Amino acid sequence: MWLCRTALAVGLALAPTMLRAATSDEAVGAVKKTLGAVLSVVNADGTRNEKLRSLRTLARKILDTHAMGRSAMGAVLEAQPPEQQQEYLELFDQLMVRTYLQKLLLFRRPRFAYGTPLQKGAGVIVRTKIITSNDEYLVAYEMRKDERDWRATDVIVEGISLTRNYREQFASLLRDRSFEELLDLMRRKTRRLREEPM
């Protein structure tokens, strides 16, 4: 009886840790799976456009660009009509996916390494390194689980958050422009990006 009570107590005490470990593993697994798939696409046969299409799909799977977009715009977005909010989120998605892929593709033949994940509230920070022959570059993914999958709500490159970077740019632009003007800037930017190869 005493043994059963002790086992239960130990089990209950370790449960959160074990649960957290399982949770972290899932988050790390999601990042590993995506980066592995990115490498496969980059190294596979196919045209540049085909590869970019596949990479965009992979990026959208791992990046929760809507959460990032809402975080980057903050309360200003809530004050906008729903159709403008929707358009902003779509434009932000295109910009963020491009930014992420550009940073990733800057490295010709990247090698990825994974550090110990960190629990952050309900989320997990998955720490990765891009290793080249001469240096290492730190990229961390702030992961949260939505209804089904683990997705990144922020990407932190060398200690600088991409979402925060956008937030600062938006705040700076909104100091002397309206939301509609900012939206127009994003429209023009994405239109031009569609015409140009990455």
Question: Does residue 41 bind other proteins (CB under 8 A)?
Answer: no
Q: Which of 14, 15, 19, 185 binds other proteins (CB under 8 A)?
A: 185
Question: Does residue 107 bind other proteins (CB under 8 A)?
Answer: yes
CB of 58 to other proteins, least distance (A): 19
x/- letters, 113..152, toward other proteins (CB under 8 A): -------------------x-xx-x---------------
CB of 136 to other proteins, least distance (A): 10
User: Do the Cβ atoms of 143 and 30 come closer than 8 Å?
Assistant: yes
Q: Which of 66, 70, 98, 127 binds other proteins (CB under 8 A)?
A: 98
CA 15-18-24 angle, 5° bins: 135
Write out the DSSP string of 139-193: EEEEEEE-SSSEEEEEEEETTEEHHHHHHHHHHHHHTTS-HHHHHHHHHHHHHHH
Name which of 26 and 157 has its Cβ closer to other proteins. Answer: 157
Question: Quick count: other Cβ atoms within 10 Å of Cβ 42?
Answer: 17
- Tokens matching residue 160: 């600088």
81: left (phi over 0), alpha (psi -120 to 50) or beta: beta
Measured CA distances, 162 to 23, 61, 63, 109 (Å): 24, 17, 12, 23
User: Do the Cβ atoms of 62 and 36 come closer than 8 Å?
Assistant: no
Q: Which of 41, 42, 76, 95 binds other proteins (CB under 8 A)?
A: 95
Segment (H or E) for 106: none
Q: Which of 158, 176, 195, 197 binds other proteins (CB under 8 A)?
A: 158
From the list 8-16, 44-52, 113-121, 161-169, the region that binds other proteins by CB under 8 A is: 161-169
Q: Which of 103, 129, 145, 167 binds other proteins (CB under 8 A)?
A: 103
Q: Which of 14, 19, 106, 118 binds other proteins (CB under 8 A)?
A: 106
Site residues for other proteins per CB under 8 A: 95-96, 98-99, 102-103, 106-108, 132, 134-135, 137, 157-160, 165-166, 169, 173, 185-186, 188-189, 192
